[in-house]
């Protein structure tokens, strides 16, 4: 068993149920590396998951406390936990692109607006792959999917000139980054910063789906060919919509919601007591 998996994950959840060759494992490994570099113990982290490939493959895997939400709702649950739990408990959410950037987007935006202390990893496989490969909010334009037989005409969040990270920044997020799953230390460093920031942090990591996206959109089941396509996509679009790196670092620049709420409530209670 992998050293990090042995240290942080529940043995009965290993090996993962992800398809062989899926890039999701690369994303999970980066999160575990960041946690290890920060020297966090399983009991110091609460691990939340959403729905879809990212949610299903990472549900209940953490050796410490776990929770999960129905589609797009994990952010609302996390908001309640953030207020209820001690400030030093780290809450890490592992969700997919459909969960975070689609059905859960309204909840996500309000967590950013409030600068809630959450570290959110969005593992993006370019669509709804766990349900057979329908196009989603980040599917590259032009690609044939199960629900776009003539090609995806929309483009999605990354290609229509409206970067979803720009919206989250405007909403109030204090740390945002984007990487490909093929990146190593830079992506781990971003996750580390996201966990360290006492506020809303999101790291968007795009990974290749070797099953549905590969077979339907790329017409290939050759994993090496799919990974080469993925690598090329980032290279060709570096500086455009697949620009990697830290997008916004406003670490600790705004009050964190749960801490501010507690302080505000305490003040009101003291005022009420002393008339």
Sheet strands (E) in the chain? 45-49, 65-68, 90-96, 118-124, 175-180, 200-206, 245-249
CB-nearer residue toward ligand SF4: 83 or 229:
229
The enclosing H or E element of 17 equals none
State in angstroms the smallest separation of the CB of 59 from ligand SF4.
13
State in angstroms the smallest separation of the CB of 207 from ligand SF4.
7
State in angstroms the smallest separation of the CB of 58 from ligand SF4.
11
Residue 105 CA to residue 164 CA, distance in Å, equals: 10
CB-nearer residue toward ligand SF4: 22 or 45:
22
Residue 180 CA to residue 174 CA, distance in Å, equals: 21
CB-nearer residue toward ligand SF4: 28 or 211:
211
The neighbour count for residue 183, using CB atoms within 10 Å, is 18
Q: Name every residue whose Cβ is closer than 8 Å to that of residue 181 and which is 6 or more positions away in sequence.
A: 23, 24, 26, 27, 30, 187, 205, 206, 207, 208
Judge contact between 121 and 205, C-beta under 8 A.
yes
CB-nearer residue toward ligand SF4: 53 or 109:
53
State in angstroms the smallest separation of the CB of 144 from ligand SF4.
16
CB-nearer residue toward ligand SF4: 16 or 251:
16
Which chain residues interact with ligand SF4 by CB under 6 A?
Answer: 18-19, 22, 24, 53, 125, 129-130, 209-212
State in angstroms the smallest separation of the CB of 248 from ligand SF4.
27
């Amino acid at each position: 068993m992998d050293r990090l998996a042995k240290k942080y994950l529940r043995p009965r959840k290993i090996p993962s149920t992800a398809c062989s060759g899926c890039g999701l494992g690369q994303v999970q490994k980066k999160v575990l590396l960041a946690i290890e570099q920060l020297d966090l113990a399983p009991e110091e982290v609460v691990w939340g998951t959403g729905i879809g490939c990212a949610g299903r493959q990472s549900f209940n895997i953490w050796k410490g406390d776990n929770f999960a939400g129905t589609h797009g709702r994990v952010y609302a649950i996390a908001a309640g936990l953030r207020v209820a739990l001690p400030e030093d408990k780290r809450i890490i959410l592992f969700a997919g692109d459909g969960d975070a950037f689609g059905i859960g987007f309204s909840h996500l935006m309000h967590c950013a607006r409030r600068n809630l202390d959450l570290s959110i990893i969005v593992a993006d496989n370019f669509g709804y792959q766990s349900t057979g490969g329908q196009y989603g909010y980040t599917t590259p334009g032009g690609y044939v999917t199960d629900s776009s037989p003539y090609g995806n005409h929309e483009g999605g969040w990354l290609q229509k000139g409206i970067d979803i990270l720009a919206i989250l920044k405007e909403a109030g997020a204090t740390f945002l980054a984007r990487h490909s799953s093929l990146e190593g230390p830079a992506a781990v460093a971003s996750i580390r910063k996201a966990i360290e920031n006492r506020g809303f942090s999101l790291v968007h990591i795009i990974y290749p789906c070797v099953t549905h996206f590969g077979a339907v959109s790329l017409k290939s089941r050759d994993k090496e060919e799919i990974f080469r396509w993925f690598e090329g996509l980032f290279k060709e679009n570096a500086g455009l919509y697949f620009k990697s790196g830290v997008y916004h670092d406003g670490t600790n620049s705004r009050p964190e919601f749960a801490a501010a709420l507690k302080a505000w409530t305490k003040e009101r209670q003291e005022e009420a007591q002393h008339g």
